[in-house]
């Protein structure tokens, strides 16, 4: 299938090669290695048959769960305009833009992507994407280690546990000392003392638990000790939160799913990475620059290539090659579609609806662990085991949130949720938890 | 030209430079609309809240659509023309796979949804694992790695942990051919290994004598792709893997060139212990302008418990997540690039046994044919039967006319073809590496060879300015020094530079 060769084509090609069958192509391969009976896989399906095959599997997922889960991935409305433009075949089926002259489309969009992210975070240089938020945190820590040549890494405990697991995999824990610092009342302690062996300080804005604080003083303290400060930010809240740059951070990373990608069961999404120009030569991944051709026509091109694996091999700043370009295209078009008012509204409505939901829960005697400093995401306490509650809420049509502890659920509200959905959720949770 | 649009017409529209979305912005314009807030307003009191609006462009929806559509017209793609791009397997990406990936609960599941509600998603990964381990000859697989390089790192971390648990932490050397992809040494370094290069012999294969001299008690493993980056099948592969195994090392298969052997032979039968596959190459998922990819890692049974997890297990009638006992940990925030994996499964299902058994054969047929007709225009680097790709060289043209591989690539762009991969592998001077894939017609291959002939003659002419190629595209060769030196990586940077210089 998708092989175009007709009998006439084969005859012509076999003649050119003086062979009489496809098998004759492989006379140099040891006979013992050849698959004589071929592969043990099912027979070909026509498109028509494949539709029912895959629709059948798809139907085994519980359909239309109303999503109150977050933790980095948010059910933000993704406009059709953004989806259809992103999936234009000229973008979707193109290769990495090494040949600038025939890749100005992708190159310019990635340049816009970098610029938009810098504007939104108050940074100076963004790369053209990393795999996801979790791996971006690990890459940022590597930059800090390379810059400072120190071996301590201070990480706020207010992170999605999966992100911490990725950091533990990708940062050599035998060589580097990762110190996880507990939040106090859901805030990173203002009086935390950094030492001159700390390479990096990594914190999430808002914290995984949904609480947010102005981190300016902590960043100042870290920087006074020569520590590289890294902020992991929720992009869909950037319309309403102070920028990481204004708080003084050196590096900003993000899980960019909520800007331009569907939830996708977690992938493909996109990792944002932005920093100051002084760290340019340590940045992982591809970077697009603006230049001119011989006729002084504006031309975009991949730049600072001397950092990358195909040139520097084992001395590269990272091994990353293929990244998440198409998701970065999605972020670009989504942010342009939103504009300042739209991005503000996503954050504002999420916080308002979350406040309403917390109040409704409190009215029914639920305890919210972090009611007062949380924004769009918060922790609700359950009397029954959180796992059971989440499973039962599923039968009522809700993805209730993410299990936070044995008796706590992390609940996220996006601008997409309606008052009715929230009211029904609260009513159902009350029934389930008091059953 | 016989092959129609993809070779005979220029697909890219020129015209004036496209302004940035920021230059199209006018205060007060907007595309977005949201429902009115339907809950009572509360005062938001948090010191992290800002009181001004974020900085973003303000454009109408029509302006936005026109802008990005115009940019699409300035981009080459598989749907537009032929990429004879070695090592990248730029084959046709079936549209149907996008339809399946768009089915509601596949594309809209939150990654933290309990497995009880995502049985369909887990079934997809399980079914894909079955295909993948059969095709590669392995026993278990993980879909966490989001790209090939991440798959390589996964494999190396598995080797590291396996050696540690077996009291072999002294083994620190990873052997990599001097012809290897750049990600191989970069990944080995990232995993904390020493990189040891093994040379290539005159036939273009791993130099066995050199390999024997490099292997010792410190050898942790070997990274190899077969066929190798010269497009040649390593005929002594069993001897190679035996040499490594005899010294207690593991053998890693870089799946970048897997397309050549699908249905022909399997890495698992050649002695490889770990295999990563690039689903965006071999299994036809769209390359997306540089990603997303997907780099699942498959291993022999004795390494299953080291895989990054969770992985999918099938018990009775349900699918469940399972965290391998000695797992190296997570490589991705959730389950890797799930929708890419799904598209790959759709492709495998459509091909089925009939298509997969002959996949490698047709890929090799096209490459062998193209190498035969191109060898009449420029010489090949090796006098050996190629697999799915081959390397030619223009070092003679560089000597006689200062024509570099780069110039040939740029001139091809003018004729509606993507350039082949150039200057790779690094061990071949003025290399042009061609990989046609199985989805191109013989007419297109003929057109490429014919076009190359025309170009090579044209470039040798008197008064030819090589730097002026390509001539017929929206832009010519970019000045690569300006952005590298002045970091013009943000809108406004270049204009600022012009004012200050």
Q: Identify the closest residue of chain A to B78 by CA–CA distance.
A: A93
Residue tagged 């010191």 (tokens): B47
Q: Which CA distances in Å does A310 have to A15, A320, B143, B431, B482?
A: 38, 10, 24, 15, 21
E strands, B310-363, are: 311-315, 318-322
Say if A260 is an interface residue toward chain B (CB within 8 Å): no
DSSP A362-392: HHTTPPBTTTTTBSSEEEEE-SS-HHHHHHH
Residue B290 confidence (pLDDT): 95
Query: Which H helix or E strand runs over B27?
Result: none
Residues of chain B with CATH 3.40.640.10: 97-351
Distance between CA atoms of B46 and A215, rounded to whole angstroms? 12
Tens-place pLDDT, residues B45-77: 999 999 899 999 999 999 999 999 999 999 999
Given a cut of 90, whether residue B6 has pLDDT beyond it is no
Residue B450's Cβ-count burial label (10 Å; 0-12, 13-18, 19+) is middle
**Per-chain mean pLDDT for chain B:** 95
Query: How many Å lie between the alpha carbon of A61 and the closest alpha carbon of chain B?
Result: 5
pLDDT-wise least confident of A21-30, A134-143, B443-452, B490-499 = B490-499
pLDDT tens for each residue of A243-283: 999 999 999 999 999 999 999 999 999 999 999 999 999 99
B85 contact residues in A (CB cutoff 8 A): 95
> With an 8 Å Cβ cutoff, is A335 touching chain B?
yes
A216 touches chain B (CB under 8 A): no
pLDDT at B480 exceeding the cut of 50? yes
Residue A337 has pLDDT above 90, yes or no: yes
The per-residue pLDDT for A1 is 81
Q: What is the DSSP letter of A95?
A: P
Contact residues on chain A for B280, CB-CB shorter than 8 A: 322
Q: Which residues of B fall within a CB distance of 8 Å from A126?
A: 489-490
Residue B10 has pLDDT above 60, yes or no: no
| pLDDT recorded at residue B216 | 96
Assess: ipTM above 0.90.
Answer: yes
Class for domain A66-77+340-433, per CATH? Answer: alpha beta
- For residue B369, say if its preceding peptide bond is cis, omega within 30 degrees of 0: no
- Is 70 exceeded by the pLDDT of residue A206? yes
> What mean pLDDT is reported for chain A?
96
pLDDT in tens, B368-380: 999 999 999 999 9
pLDDT score of B3:
61
* CA distances (Å), origin A72, targets A29, A161, B55: 49, 11, 22
Question: A15 pLDDT exceeds 90?
Answer: yes
Domain ranges of chain A: 66-77+340-433, 80-334
CA distance A205 to chain B (A): 9
What CATH number should be reported for the domain whose range is A80-334? 3.40.640.10
Of A91, A338, A349, the CB nearest to B37: A349
B-proximal residues of A, 354-383, CB under 8 Å? 355-356, 359, 373, 375
pLDDT at B7: 44
pLDDT in tens, B108-136: 999 999 999 999 999 999 999 999 999 99
The pLDDT tens digits of the residues spanning B179-233 come to 998 889 999 998 999 999 999 999 999 999 999 999 999 999 999 999 999 999 9
Q: Does residue B5 register a pLDDT over 50?
A: no
User: A20 at the B interface (CB within 8 A)?
Assistant: no
Contacting residues for B117 by C-beta, under 8 A, at least 6 apart: A61, A62, A65, A394, A399
The region that residue B291 occupies, defined by phi over 0 for left and psi between -120 and 50 for alpha, beta otherwise, is: left
- Please enumerate in sequence order all residues whose Cβ is within 8 A of that of B459, keeping only pairs 6 or more positions apart, or say none: B397, B401, B403, B407, B408, B411, B466, B469
Pick the CATH number of B97-351 from 3.40.80.10, 3.40.50.720, 3.40.640.10, 3.60.70.12: 3.40.640.10
């Amino acid at each position: 299938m998708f092989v175009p060769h007709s009998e006439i084509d084969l005859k012509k090609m076999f003649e050119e090669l003086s062979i009489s069958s496809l098998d004759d192509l492989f006379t140099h391969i040891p006979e013992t290695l050849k698959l004589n009976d071929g592969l043990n896989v099912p027979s070909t399906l026509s498109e028509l048959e494949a539709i029912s095959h895959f629709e059948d599997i798809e139907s085994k997922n519980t359909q239309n769960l109303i999503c109150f889960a977050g933790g980095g991935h948010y059910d933000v409305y993704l406009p059709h305009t953004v989806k259809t433009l992103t999936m234009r075949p000229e973008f979707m089926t193109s290769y990495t833009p090494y040949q600038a002259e025939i890749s100005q489309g992708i190159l310019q969009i990635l340049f816009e992507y970098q610029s938009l992210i810098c504007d939104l975070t108050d940074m100076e240089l963004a790369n053209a994407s990393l795999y996801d938020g979790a791996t971006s945190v690990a890459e940022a820590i590597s930059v800090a280690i390379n810059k400072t040549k120190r071996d301590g890494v201070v990480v706020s405990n207010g992170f999605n546990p999966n992100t911490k697991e990725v950091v533990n995999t990708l940062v050599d824990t035998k060589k580097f000392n990762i110190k996880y610092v507990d939040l106090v009342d859901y805030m990173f302690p203002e009086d935390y003392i950094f030492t001159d062996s700390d390479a990096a300080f990594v914190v999430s804005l808002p914290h995984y638990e949904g609480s947010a604080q102005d981190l300016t003083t902590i960043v100042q303290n870290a920087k006074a000790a020569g520590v590289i400060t890294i902020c992991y930010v929720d992009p869909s809240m950037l319309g309403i939160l102070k920028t990481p740059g204004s708080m003084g951070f050196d590096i900003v990373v993000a899980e960019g799913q909520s800007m331009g990608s569907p939830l996708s069961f977690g992938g493909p999404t996109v990792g944002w990475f932005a920093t100051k120009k002084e760290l340019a030569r340590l940045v992982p991944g591809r970077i697009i620059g603006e230049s001119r051709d011989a006729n002084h026509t504006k031309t975009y091109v991949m730049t600072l290539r001397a950092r990358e694996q195909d040139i520097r091999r084992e001395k590269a700043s990272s091994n990353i090659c293929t990244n998440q370009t198409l998701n970065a295209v999605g972020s670009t078009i989504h942010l342009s579609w939103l504009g300042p008012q739209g991005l503000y509204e996503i954050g504002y409505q999420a916080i308002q609806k979350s406040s309403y939901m917390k109040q409704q829960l409190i009215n029914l005697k639920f305890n919210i662990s972090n009611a007062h400093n949380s924004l769009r995401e918060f922790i609700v306490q359950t009397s029954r085991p959180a796992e059971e509650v989440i499973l039962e809420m599923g039968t009522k049509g809700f993805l209730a949130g993410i299990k936070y502890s044995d008796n706590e659920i992390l609940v996220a509200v996006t601008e997409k949720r309606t008052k009715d959905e929230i009211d029904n959720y609260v009513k159902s949770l009350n029934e389930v938890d008091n059953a | 030209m016989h092959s129609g649009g993809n070779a005979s017409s220029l697909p890219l529209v020129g015209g004036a430079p496209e302004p940035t979305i920021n230059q199209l912005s006018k205060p007060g314009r907007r595309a977005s609309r949201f429902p009115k807030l339907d809950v009572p307003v509360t005062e938001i009191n948090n010191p992290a809240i800002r009181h001004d609006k974020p900085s973003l462009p303000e454009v109408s929806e029509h302006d936005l659509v026109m802008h990005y559509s115009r940019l699409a017209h300035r981009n080459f793609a598989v749907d537009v023309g032929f990429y004879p791009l070695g090592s990248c397997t730029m084959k046709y990406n079936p549209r149907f796979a996008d339809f399946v990936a768009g089915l509601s609960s596949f594309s809209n599941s939150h990654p933290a949804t309990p497995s009880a509600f995502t049985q369909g998603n887990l079934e997809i990964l399980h079914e894909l694992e079955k295909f993948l381990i059969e095709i590669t000859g392995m026993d278990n697989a993980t879909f966490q790695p989001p790209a090939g390089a991440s798959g390589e790192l996964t494999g190396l971390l598995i080797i590291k942990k396996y050696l540690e648990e077996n009291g072999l932490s002294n083994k620190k050397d990873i052997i990599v051919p001097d012809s290897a992809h750049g990600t191989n040494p970069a990944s080995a370094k990232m995993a904390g290994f020493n990189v040891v290069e093994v040379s290539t012999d005159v036939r273009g294969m791993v130099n066995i004598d050199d390999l024997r001299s490099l292997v010792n008690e410190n050898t942790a493993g070997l990274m190899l792709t077969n066929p190798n980056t010269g497009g040649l099948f390593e005929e002594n592969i069993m001897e190679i893997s035996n040499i490594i195994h005899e010294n207690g090392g593991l053998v890693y298969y870089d799946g970048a060139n897997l397309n050549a052997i699908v249905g022909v032979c399997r890495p698992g039968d050649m002695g490889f212990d770990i295999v990563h596959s690039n689903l965006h190459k071999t299994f036809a998922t769209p390359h997306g302008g540089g990603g997303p990819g997907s780099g699942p890692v498959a291993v022999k049974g004795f390494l299953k418990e080291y895989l990054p997890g969770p992985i999918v297990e099938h018990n009775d009638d349900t699918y469940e997540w399972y965290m391998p006992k000695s797992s190296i940990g997570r490589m991705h925030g959730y389950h890797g690039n799930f929708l890419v994996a799904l598209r790959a499964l759709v492709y495998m299902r459509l091909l089925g046994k009939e298509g997969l058994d002959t996949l490698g054969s047709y890929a090799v047929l096209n490459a062998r044919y193209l190498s035969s007709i191109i060898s009449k225009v420029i010489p090949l680097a090796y006098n050996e039967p190629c697999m799915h790709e081959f390397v030619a060289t223009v070092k003679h043209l560089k000597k006689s006319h200062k024509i570099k591989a780069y110039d040939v690539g740029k001139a091809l762009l003018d004729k509606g073809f993507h350039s082949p991969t150039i200057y790779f592998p690094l061990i071949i001077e003025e290399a042009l590496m061609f990989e046609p894939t199985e989805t191109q017609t013989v007419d297109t291959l003929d057109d490429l060879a014919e076009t190359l002939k025309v170009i090579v003659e044209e470039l040798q002419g008197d008064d030819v300015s090589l730097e002026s190629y390509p001539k017929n595209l929206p832009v010519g060769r970019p000045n690569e020094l300006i952005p590298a030196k002045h970091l013009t990586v943000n809108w406004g940077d270049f204009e600022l530079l012009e004012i200050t210089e």
